[in-house]
Amino acid sequence: MTETVKLKSPIDGSIYAERPVASDQAINAAVERSRAAQVAWAQTSIAERGKYMLAFLEALVAMTDEIVPEIAWQMGRPTRYGGEFGGVKERTNYMVEIAEQALKPVMASNPKDGFRRYVKRDPLGVVMVIAPWNYPYLTAVNTIVPALMAGSTVILKHAAQTLVVGERFQQAFDKIGLPKGVFQNIVLNHAQTEKLLGSGKIDHVNFTGSVAGGKAIEKAAAGSFMSMGLELGGKDPAYVLPDAKLDHAIANLVDGAFFNSGQCCCGIERVYVHEKVYDDFVDGFISLTKDYVVGNPLDQATTMGPMAQSRFADFIREQKAEALRKGATAHINMKVDQDVAGSPYLAPEVLTNVDHQMSVMREESFGPIVGIMKVRGDEDAIALMNDSPYGLTASIWTSDIEHAVSIGDRVETGTVFMNRCDYLDPALVWTGVKDTGKGAALSAIGYENLTRPKSYHLREQI
């Protein structure tokens, strides 16, 4: 019997999609097509590659009406928020726009008579993208577009929870006539993925997912010498100072904590508030959180859908229960239909009287729960923000830019925000520290990570 991957919808538990995994022969054929296509693709001009990418973007966006409910059925995000195409457009357009400049040869800074010396950026070859389900289009496009713009070919293995997304990418590229083999979507199980990574046939892998998943990727690829980009766990903090505009901070941090049911790589998971504004902040945060409407994501009234899988919701329930046992206070306690153990439907929760002995303040939640702690000042806040194995983003809420920068310089993180959070600017590099992973995406630095330097040291004829 042929092995399949089943996509169980969080809406009602039904099997929304089921696809056969690729055979060994199909996997080998896909890699061979990719390798063969890469030779000609690398010779295609950057301008021509850019035309393909912009046409792909147009073809993908044209599917919006079909894609929005598909996302809801696959991973639970309410349809009222539309697709992810605002960010997809911004990132695609920007990476196409900067490609010529970012990929041009770098001339030696000290000219020498009789020599021409420079470094070119060569494509890596075959790039594999292992994409996650939480923002299935945004996260995938971060590598797919710049890898293709740099002259590599791409093999996409999308998450089982968002199988249909990979097919949409393939449909869009096929519609615009991208040369065969330049982009391929493939369905693999874990064992097949590990085998392919260890085969030596992949030149670079980009993975977004758990720390355990990242370790499995590294182990599978050991000895292959491939390069990799790993965006793994996060426990992103916020620090609210006394001079912050509280209404603005509350509105943005509530959204940063609970949008997409808290299933955001750079979502807010812990908040540290200066004692001078703590009470007012907590009151406002609780009040706004109570406005969420949890329910079927296909209903336009729903502002928070189910989590992607019931086990993710159960983990949040466990974190809350442990925190309460250790003295935390829960403030929302919202009554939601189906919010029981074993169900993906889960109400948002705000906890106070929390500390770093609790899982909810130390381990990645990736769900609609947030802890708020009172701090006396910068030293307390910085120590607590750094008391984490992760470091993707940190947000600082203040009216003093220089003060924010001085704090940010001491926080162990990939991105420092001031007066905003939970956002990815394609002009700035997306990276993390500690267990959040390694590598870098987007910006000109992203192109450096998706190419290899090749030096030319040319002596003129004597």
CB 380 within 8 A of CB 289: no
Written as six digits, the tokens of 111 are 């000219």
φ, ψ of residue 11 to 5 degrees: the values are: -65, -50
Q: Collect all residues with Cβ–Cβ distance below 8 Å to 461 and sequence separation of at least 6.
A: none
Q: Which amino acid is at 56?
A: F
CB 258 within 8 A of CB 289: yes
CB 60 within 8 A of CB 170: no
- DSSP-assigned letter for residue 79: G
Residue 26 CA, chain-centre distance (Å), reads 29
The arrangement of strands across the sheet holding 153-158 comes to 183-185, 153-158, 126-131, 204-208, 227-231, 437-438
Q: What is the three-class DSSP state of 440? A: coil
The continuous run of DSSP H or E covering 452 comes out as strand 451-459
The continuous run of DSSP H or E covering 73 comes out as helix 64-75
Q: Collect all residues with Cβ–Cβ distance below 8 Å to 90 and sequence separation of at least 6.
A: 426
- Cβ-in-10-Å burial (0-12, 13-18, 19+) of 3 comes to exposed
The continuous run of DSSP H or E covering 215 comes out as helix 211-221
Residue 307 CA, chain-centre distance (Å), reads 17
Between β-strands 115-123 and 126-131, what pairing exists: parallel, antiparallel or unpaired? unpaired
- DSSP-assigned letter for residue 461: P
Q: Collect all residues with Cβ–Cβ distance below 8 Å to 32 and sequence separation of at least 6.
A: none
Alpha-carbon separation of residue 277 from 249, 288, 290 (angstroms): 11, 17, 20
Active site residues: 231, 265
Place of tokens 């998706």: 450
- How far apart are alpha carbons 323 and 319 in whole angstroms? 6
The DSSP annotation for 260-290 comes to GGG--TT-EEEEEEETTTHHHHHHHHHHHHT
